Amino acid sequence: MSDQPLQGQVITSQLIASLAARTALETPGVLRLEPTIHGLLARLGPAALNNLRNPGSQNGTYRHDGVTATISDGTTHVHLDIATDITYAALNVAETVRERVRENIRHTALTPGPVDISILAIEHHHGTTHA
Amino acid sequence: MALEDIPLLGCGRHIDQLWATLHQPPTTHEQQCEQCKMARTSLQRLSEATRSLREQDLNDPALKPRPGITNAIMDVARAEIRRSKRIILGSTEEGTTEISEQALSALIRLAATAIPGVHSRRCHIEVRSSDPSPAGEDPRSRGTADAGPHLIINLRVAAAAGIDIPRTVQTLRQEISSAIPAGAGIRAEIINITVEDLYDV
């Protein structure tokens, strides 16, 4: 038997960000996540080093293109910047994304907190014909 | 104490004081004091070495950001400016939903392209909070497009010379008032259209 202790799996803010981003991108009507200057600078600045040293933690914030996730005392807070397909009502898309993200976070045993969504662009999907 | 750690010259002056005034002409004391003169000479060498290293770093290709990084930052910065202000569509305990003015303008401009004889120009959007539900009415029964804020759209257009302007503007207004709920899920309450120019077809 190994003397190495078994390491517990920890749900990090990076994992929550990744889960939220994937969930959003799989929701019909979402074209992409939109990078913002805030997110980009966070990626290039000291926060980037922090992310490399400690890729998300159980009490911290993780930012990547278009998604920010924070875990505080077992409750998550997610912010998503999205672009939506013009053939869908953006508000309904945002609602669906929110419900799905919260549902998926519930599966991690953390408490889903607010999921803030910014619709930054509404565009035609490639292959969608103009009305 | 920390203050005592600052190196003092034999004449009692702080070395930091000399460093701070290094680029100014020496004072009468500094011209006569041997310790100050020596310290100034040493500090001038240090200052020159620092400047040289700084310039070296500025011209070192290894320390320059890759062109892609600068372009990426500029692309995102330009996009952020274009997106303009954000309009809050709704806020609950489960989160806030907001939309950029640019996203709404895109819907409006697209609607305008469907109407022959008008070219959309500047578009400014204001928000009015939704009215409280009439007594006894369940707000949820009013439908998604009636919930949340109502928009006041101010659109400036150029019209083709010779068209029936009132009729065209009315058609454009109807097109926009259908496009906003369909694309964004909210209602455009007031649509002000200003024909500010005529163009030859």
Domains annotated for chain A, with CATH where assigned, are 13-123 (3.30.70.1350)
For A93, B35, B144, B147, the CA distances from B141, given in Å and listed in that order, are 20, 88, 9, 9
For residue A130, give Cα distances in angstroms to A85, A125, B113, B181. Answer: 12, 10, 10, 17
What are the structure tokens assigned to B57, written together? 């770093």
Q: Are residues A116 and B89 in contact, defined by beta-carbon separation less than 8 angstroms? A: no
* Domains of chain B, residue spans: 8-61, 85-199
Q: Which residues of B touch A116 (CB under 8 A)?
A: 95-98
A94 closest CB neighbour out of B97, B104, B110: B97
CATH topology of domain B85-199: Alpha-Beta Plaits (3.30.70)
Higher per-residue confidence, A47 vs B110: B110
Q: Are B172 and B193 in contact (CB under 8 A)?
A: yes
**Is the ipTM, as predicted for this complex, more than 0.90?**
no
Residue A35: its pLDDT value, please?
A: 78
Question: What are the residue ranges of helices labelled H in chain B?
Answer: 15-20, 28-32, 34-59, 67-83, 101-113, 165-184
Between strands A60-64 and B150-160, the pairing is unpaired
- Going residue by residue through chain B (201 aa), what tens digit of pLDDT does each one get? 445 566 688 888 888 888 889 889 999 998 899 889 988 998 999 999 999 998 888 888 877 777 777 777 777 777 777 667 888 888 899 999 999 988 999 899 989 999 999 999 999 898 876 555 444 444 434 444 455 677 899 999 999 998 999 999 999 999 999 999 888 888 888 999 999 999 887
Query: Which of B82, B91, B97 is the best mutation test for A, with the most CBs of A within 10 A?
Result: B97
